[in-house]
Amino acid sequence: MNEAPNSQVNNQTAQQVQIALPLLAPTVTYTILGFTVVIYILQFLSRGLVGYNLNGLDVFEFYAARSNDAIRAGQLWRFITPVFLHASPMHIFFNMYALFSIGSFLERQFGHARFALLYFLGAFSGNVFSFMLSDGYSVGASTAVFGLLAAEGVFFYQNQKIFGSYARQAIGNAVFFIVVNLFIGLSPGIDNWGHVGGLLGGAIFTWFAGARWEVIGLPPVLHLQDERELRDIILGASLVIILFGMLALWGMF
- Give start and end residues of each alpha helix (H) in 159-229: 160-163, 165-184, 192-209
How far is Cα 102 from Cα 115, in angstroms, rounded to an integer? 11
Residues 98, 20: contact at Cβ < 8 Å? no
Please list the active-site residues. Answer: 142, 195
Residue 118's SS3 state is helix
- Collect all residues with Cβ–Cβ distance below 8 Å to 153 and sequence separation of at least 6: 170, 171, 174, 175, 178, 203
Backbone angles phi, psi at 215, to 5 degrees: -85, 125
3-state secondary structure of 145: helix
Amino acid at 199: L
